Structure 1
Amino acid sequence: MLTQLTIKNYALIDELQVGFNNGLTIITGETGAGKSILLGGLSLILGKRADLASVKDSSKKCVIEGVFDIAKYNLKALFKIQDLDYESLTIIRREILPSGKSRAFINDTPVRLDDLQVLGEHLLDIHSQHQTLQLTNDDFQFQIIDALADNDENLSQYISELKNFKTFSSEIEKLQNQKVESLKELDYNLFLLKELEEAKLVVGELETLETEYETLNNVEEIKDKLGQSNQLLSNEDVGITSNLREVKQQLFKLVNYGKQYQSIYDRIDSSLIEIDDIFAEIENLEDQLEADPNRLEVVNTKLQTLHNLMQKHIVSSEEELISIREDLSNKVLETENLDAHISAKEKEKEQLKTQLLAVSKTIHNNRSKVIPKLIKQLESILATLGMPNAKFNIELKASNSFLSNGSDELQFLFSANKGGQFNDLKKSASGGELSRIMLAIKYILSNYTQLPTIMFDEIDTGVSGEISNKMAVIMQEMSKAMQVFTITHLPQIAAKGDHHFKVFKEDVNDVTQTQLKKLTPEERIVEIAQMLGGINVSNSALEHAKQLLN
């Protein structure tokens, strides 16, 4: 509920601070006194766009602040979604700066207007004749029926499962699109994969093949050089091995003359061992060498294949080719497995569809059960509000589509006159009739759900005295469960309030200002008497006012 409203520097209001209580609050005042200013300020804290022209003094900041007691509204989840600190007494503030820039705050946290509008819908409902078109909106009509049908949990389950269903549908669509694209590439990927698999790639093979190719391609020259080297080592007269053995024998005779001779002898001995080993290795290499044109051709072909593949795939090693081969293999496998993946997803989607059908059927059945009850209540209340011939025909049809709030299509048909044809509500009801229908619906809803504070703005326009009394009784009943404001010109309604405020203008230092004052019991008698008989109050008007208040 709205507990306090502060307005500074807005329209004809210099500064206004007023507190409100529970129950039915009446606001009266002469035409042009500034009731619309009050509504305009409230609209700003509900997220309406600001206009610098509405600022009283454009050189100063305009501030509108409302304090709301939201302890009973179950809004903690909403605050969490909006990443706001929850306070049972929540403060909403709008500021319009001299620059024209507007700022909004919830509990001193800066917020966007969208966030303010979302929260505002749960705090205050301003209702006038011009806003009764909400009645003709399908979503609102479903909200009415679902409140009576106690469908909250079913709708929450439906919305959750519908989200999953849409997610699976989207994933399946993506997979099917992926399949179409993958099939286009499959033949080419298979061709590339076959090339790489036939190459029988082995890490390090390129270097081995290049070495083998150089050996086979130059076998005669290598064999010749190895033979000459062998001769230089092994010649009995001038070979290196023979000369080293002779040196070793001479130095052996000197080893007893000093360590330096032993050292040089050991080095010659080591060198001779190494030379003997080199000689044996050369002989071994020479024995292994054979010209093999067939093997040379095989090696050359394999090398050419590897170089062609590396050039084709713009890489420089077998490792990279192997990595490409694995990627291609995965792509081909993924394409081949897409059908199975899509099939599995579709089975899960069908399970979700079955669950959705079940919960949407439950929602439909609950709605069907309460529609006769809703019609009966509406027609009964409207009869007391001067519409005895008002009749409703609410048609609910199950469809094959999953809509945002179930699988139903709804027609809210209305006839205002006896024997009249049923037609769409927006086509068959006048503005005054729509106002009374909205009042009846709000009253019914207040018995089934926690509604936000509601403000009726001259909803009684064009209504007779007796009917206005009935409207006031309905508002009284509503105010037992919620905070209700009504702006009225009718004394019958004004007399039914728990609290009474008057909007009026006064001149302060030659400047006209709008003020809002809570009336005392005595002031209230005078105000209602003036509403009955005009500015010059008669004794009979005062007596009548007292009777209305009693």
Structure 2
Amino acid sequence: MIIDKVSIDFDDHMSVLTGETGAGKSIIVDALGQLCGNRSSASLVRKGENKAIIEGVFSLTDNEKIANVLSELGMDVDDEIIITKEISSQGKSTIKMNYRPLTNAALKMLAPYLLHIHSQFETQSLFSLKNHIVLLDEYIGKDILPLKEQYLHSYKEMKSIEKEIRRIEEEEFSDEQIEYYEKQYNEIKDFSYTEESLQELENEADILKNYEQLHTHVHAIDQLLSSSDGAFEKIDATLHELDEIKDMDEYEEDYNNLYNLYYSLMDVHNHIIDTFGRYEFDEYRFNEVQEELYEISRLKNKYGYSLDDIYEARDTLKQKIDTAKNRDDVLMKLKQSLKSAKKKVEEDAMLLQNMRQQAAKQFEKDIKKELDDLYLPHAAFKVHFEKAAYTKAGGYDVIFMIRMNTGQSFAPLNESASGGELSRLMLAIKTITLKHSSLDTIIFDEVDTGVSGKVADAIGSKMEQLAQEKQVICITHLPQVAVHASHHFSILKQDKDGQTYSNTKLLDEEERINEIATMLSGDHITKEALDNARTLLKR
């Protein structure tokens, strides 16, 4: 886009990126998003260039989740991984990890454990009720995972039985249909080939098909080696001549080497002749093998593309025939199984719900404390549970309720919170949930929009607290947020030779004072702005 070449080394704790609108701050975040598997576009490539290259070097601590994903992808687990994405001017991209090709799907599996990008758009996701249960589970952490897996297994079992009941109830089993199934089943019921036996059959067909040509070549080999003027006679004569001079040390090794080669060649000859001797052309057998292979090919084309497909079709047909002939009994047994499956789902869902309700009490207290710190002292937060139809997530909907002022009633977030309040609430939730996660790097992309003054200072303070345990990268326009960073980068946009370029600079102490002063007073830096900047930075 507007970056020619830039390299940034983000350190521990909190780093802040500042600069005027359009300087390229968001491009840095977009680049990191590309390394997380975001969709590529030709617009990301600078005009007139053939490609854009983004490379991220991630230092890994002992992270079990990343190790598991890397192992699943067949990648080596190391202390450092390098992700490289190359985007062409046509918008196509290639991805590599440690310079080995990687699919975008694999990158998306890995990315959630490398970094988290929190943007204004994500804050709006609080309006979606389906995200509330996800955030609560993030707060609970790994303790809830066994219960979720147990419930999901029960839920899938129940849905599978329900699907089978619907299929049987909806399918027409006429006499003609049953007869059709039986006809198909009968042609594959005795099918018993394996990949190994099929390979042997194909090899036999090749030999029989090429028997005459094989005979010609084997006979020629035999003549070249064992005829009266063949290789064996000539080598034997050569050995005889060498035998006369082998007493000379210089020729003894040559004699021994040729002697060994002679008998090795005889072994090769014998193997060729013996192997061919096992073959015998039988036209009846040749036709039989050809017909057998044709029938296998026909069945594969009819029922699938592999032997496994044929076996699966056979089992399915057998099941349909049994179901058609014993429909009432099959349905009765399935409905009994469904009753047991539903009971198991109810039990597992209640275990899941009990953990969520218990955790919600502490979650509400923790959010309240964070909201107080973010200058929302009259706000109260509550997690509301509402019985609902069973889904993959459980049997209850989770709804975050908020009361912004004393005396008001609790209401869903999307009905009562303003933009600035919503940003603070989301920051409070993220501060709590991310603090205890295995994620190492968190990026805040202008999440402080719509606030200023002491509220901005409180947001910066929250990020600084989180940065004691995580690597935090923040893009902001607010000096009250920027002063909380340990490292300050300025994004500069410059015009050169009719082109616009964006560069990044790590600021020293004096440069940082000037940057904060600029954020306070604009391009014309006053003495008061400089003094104010020094005061903010010295706190």
TM-score, normalised to structure 1, is: 0.65
Distance 1:537 1:343, change over 3 A: same
Asked if the contact 2:491/2:502 (under 8 Å) is kept, the reply is yes
Judging changes above 3 Å, is the alpha-carbon distance between structure 1 residues 40 and 448 closer, same or farther for their aligned structure 2 residues?
closer
Structure 1 gaps of 5+ residues are: 1-10, 191-327
2-side partners of 1:64 and 1:520: how far apart? 26
Listed as ranges, the matches of 1:414-493 within 5 Å are 414-451=402-439, 453-493=441-481
2:516: which partner in 1? 528
In the alignment, does 2:139 pair up with 1:148? yes
Matched, 1:60 2:50: yes
Q: Find the residue that maps to 2:437 and give its secondary structure.
A: coil
Distance 1:162 1:413, change over 3 A: same
Using the TM superposition, give the Cα deviation of residue 112 of structure 1 relative to its aligned residue in structure 2, in angstroms: 4.4
1:89 aligned onto 2:80: yes
Q: Count how many residue pairs are aligned between Structure 1 and Structure 2.
A: 401
Q: Decide which of 147, 157, 161 is 1:164's aligned counterpart.
A: 157
Cα pair 2:403 2:416 within 8 Å, conserved:
yes
Task: Please report the RMSD computed on the Cα atoms of aligned residues, expressed in angstroms.
Answer: 3.2
> Are residue 34 (structure 1) and residue 27 (structure 2) matched?
no
Q: 1:24 aligns with which of 10, 14, 18?
A: 14
Match of 2:215 in 1: none
Distance 1:441 1:402 in 2: 26
Q: Following TM superposition, by how much is the alpha carbon of 1:361 offset from its aligned partner in structure 2, in angstroms?
A: 0.5
**Cα shift at 1:483:** 1.7
Asked if 2 retains the 8 angstrom alpha-carbon contact of 1:158 and 1:359, the reply is yes
Alignment of 1:126-525 (within 5 A): 126-149=117-140, 150-176=143-169, 180-181=172-173, 335-399=324-388, 401-451=389-439, 453-509=441-497, 511-525=499-513
Contact 1:133 1:426 in 2 (8 A): no
Q: How much does 1:435 deviate?
A: 0.9
Q: 8 Å contact 1:128–1:435 — kept in the other structure?
A: no
Measured against aligned partners, the alpha-carbon deviations of 1:29-57 in whole angstroms (never above 9, x if no partner) come to 12222212222222222233223233214
Per-residue CA shift, 1:406-456, capped at 9, x if unaligned? 111222222323333433312322222211111011011124433452221
- Report deviation, 1:141: 1.0
Counterpart of 1:379 in 2: which secondary structure?
helix
2:147–2:351: 8 Å Cα contact kept in structure 1? yes
8 Å CA contact retained: 1:67, 1:89: yes
Q: Which segment drifts farther, 111-120 or 149-158?
A: 111-120
How far apart in 1 are the matches of 2:85 and 2:510?
A: 36
Greater relative contact order (CA < 8 Å, ≥ 6 in sequence) = 2
CA distance in 1, matches of 2:473, 2:154: 39
Change in 2 beyond 3 A, CA 1:171/1:90:
farther
- For the Cα contact (< 8 Å) 1:70–1:88, is it kept in 2? yes
Q: What secondary structure is seen at the aligned counterpart in 1 of 2:173? A: helix
CA distance in 2, matches of 1:533, 1:330: 78
Contact 2:16 2:473 in 1 (8 A): yes
Quick check: which has more Rg, 1 or 2?
1
Shift of residue 474, structure 1, vs aligned partner: 0.9
Deviates more, 1:63-72 or 1:479-488: 63-72
Does the residue aligned with 1:74 lie in a helix, a strand or coil?
A: helix
Q: Could you give the per-residue CA deviations for residues 364-415 of structure 1, whole angstroms, max 9, x where no partner exists?
A: 111112223222322332233232332334320233x321111112222223
Higher mean displacement: 536-545 or 351-360 = 536-545
Q: Are the equivalent residues in 2 in contact too, given 1:384–1:467 (CA < 8 A)?
A: no
Contact residue 52 and residue 58 of structure 1 kept, 8 A: no
- What SS does the aligned partner of 1:91 have? strand
Q: Return the alpha-carbon distance in structure 1 between the equivalents of residues 157 and 330 of structure 2.
A: 17
Distance in 1 (alpha carbons) for counterparts of 2:417 and 2:175: 59
Contact 1:183 1:335 in 2 (8 A): no
Relative to the length of structure 2, the TM-score reads: 0.66
| Cα pair distance change 1:349/1:548, threshold 3 Å | same
For each residue in 1:254-281, what CA deviation from the matched residue of structure 2 results, as whole angstroms up to 9, or x when unmatched? xxxxxxxxxxxxxxxxxxxxxxxxxxxx
| Cα separation, partners in 2 of 1:438 and 1:103, compared to 1, 3 Å | same
Partner letter of residue 49 of structure 1? Answer: R
